[in-house]
Amino acid sequence: MSAWIWGTMLVIGLAFEAYAIWSKKQGDTLSEHTRRVFFVNTKAGRAVFTVFWAGFSVWFLLHIVTGAM
């Protein structure tokens, strides 16, 4: 059951992103939302996002490779 839920969420997310890219409307892609949420147009926002993304990437790599939390 869990695989179906994750698969469905992935397909829906990809469909939304494909539509956003295809529509050419400003501000509706995942990248544009991420930039807006983290205020990456400011120096502080870029710093916060960089630390967050680097930390998440390290955690996710270790999580997948080692199976730990």
> 1-10, 28-37, 53-62 — which one is most confidently predicted on average?
53-62
Q: Count of CB atoms within 10 A of residue 46's CB?
A: 14
pLDDT of residue 26: 85
- Please indicate, yes or no, whether the overall pTM of this predicted structure exceeds 0.85: no
Residue 53, domain extent: 2-66
Q: Please write the tens of the pLDDT for every residue from 18-54.
A: 988 888 788 888 889 889 989 999 999 999 999 999 9
Where do we find the tokens 């790599």?
61
- Count of structural domains within the chain: 1
Q: Are 23 and 32 in contact (CB under 8 A)?
A: no
Distance, in Å, from the CA atom of 56 to the CA atom of 5, rounded to the nearest integer, reads 23
> Do 35 and 29 form a contact (C-beta atoms < 8 A)?
no
Task: Count Cβ atoms below 10 Å from residue 32 Cβ, excluding itself.
Answer: 13
pLDDT for the residue numbered 59: 95
